[in-house]
Amino acid sequence: MNQSWIADRMRLIDASGIRKVFDLAATMKDPVNLSIGQPHFDTPVPIKYALFEAVVHGRNAYSQTQGIAPLLQRLRARVAAELPHPDRELFITSGTSGALMLALSVLVNPGDEVIMFDPYFVMYKHLTRLAGGVPVIVDTYPDFRIDVERVRAAITPRTKVILCNSPANPTGAVASEAEMRALAELAERHDIALISDEIYRAFCYDREFISPARFNERTIVIDGFSKSHSMTGWRLGYAHGPREIIREMIKLQQFTFVCAPHPVQWAGLAALDYDVQPHVRAYKAKRDFIVQNLDPRFTVAGGQGAFYLFVRTPWGTGTEFVSEAIRNNLLIIPGNVFSERDTHFRISYAAEDETLERGVDILNRLAALRGS
């Protein structure tokens, strides 16, 4: 094929480092896999039955672009109870990734700057570039806390959006109320759009989840069912924020995704009635096991939520350490997939306890390879 056919924007987007690890896993025999960023439990049975019933009853055509009325009503009521903003609107999206793409496409002009925090979810930089924006990286090392003064220093006349994620992927860090308040107030003061990715909000272990939308009514919130209900392949999310922005996102969805998968939206109704707290407690126990049993040579910050730990390597770069781990049949993700630095690696503890035990044993052996 003539390479001139390929749009210039695609040169700004690299293949996902996570996908490369997934492809590698398919070639390995019985790997100890601590790389997967999705729940290890299956979609709960009541939600499966709700999907089946929706399909059987013929709910297979397009839905309205903004989503089915019963799901909209339930979610709007839930959001209004937490955020009683008179101008807040909500619609159903094709996953949180779809919501992110819509939000950035609606907000960002070519050359506009989008502030994000390092370490960051891999998609943020690429979707920003797809929209024509410029990622501006604000460092959060070594403790992965949001320092509002660093954010303030990064703001320029081209700053259009601040993108935050708490609980965070890959660090598991959960922002405090003070951090969220300061960030929200800073965005409001400078008239910058604030996008809050809250897909992991159900998984908070050590401190209360706080949305920046509590302190800034114009915050655009993105959420969904993928992580809390193990529905990653079902592509069901939602977004809420100022009515004028949400209407533009709905308009763009009409000409891109069309709608979220219609039968899955009916399953989302059943998901709203399913108690995920047993899974949350199980993941807290898994987090505690890893932190308590890792060799002291490992340094762990963050980890207050989600189901990830972002661990500093005891020797070498993140890439070097992960390469040695793979040679020992352990799959983890090098930190430079999520960061401008190559000093850490990501563990996903969304796995069976036996897998976690095997993984910890391998990590501790690797830590001892080059002494203390």
All CATH 3.90.1150.10 domain ranges of the chain, comma separated, are 3-43+276-370
All CATH 3.40.640.10 domain ranges of the chain, comma separated, are 59-272
Among candidates 118, 108, 124, 95, which has minimal Cα distance to 16? 124
Neighbours of 84 (CB within 10 A): 9
Q: What was the pLDDT predicted at 250?
A: 98
Give tens-digit pLDDT for 325-361.
999 999 999 999 999 999 999 999 999 999 999 999 9
**What's the mean pLDDT in 52-81?**
98
Tell me what percent of the chain is helix, strand and coil, each rounded to the nearest 5.
Answer: 45, 15, 40
User: Tokens 């999705």 belong to which residue?
Assistant: 38
Q: With respect to CATH, is domain 59-272 assigned 3.30.390.50? A: no
> Which residues, at least 6 apart from 61, have a Cβ–Cβ distance to it below 8 Å?
262
- Helix (H), strand (E) at residue 308: strand 308-312
Q: What was the pLDDT predicted at 16?
A: 57
Give tens-digit pLDDT for 211-245.
999 999 999 999 999 999 999 999 999 999 999 99
Give tens-digit pLDDT for 251-297.
999 999 999 999 999 999 999 999 999 999 999 999 999 999 999 99
Tell me the C-alpha distance between 144 and 274, whole Å: 32
Q: Is the pTM of this model over 0.75?
A: yes
Return the CATH fold of 3-43+276-370.
Answer: Aspartate Aminotransferase, domain 1 (3.90.1150)
Q: Who has greater pLDDT, 5 or 141?
A: 141
User: Tokens 């529905």 belong to which residue?
Assistant: 231
Q: What is the mean pLDDT of the chain?
A: 95
Q: What was the pLDDT predicted at 15?
A: 67
Angle between helices 122-130 and 95-107 (to 10 degrees): 40
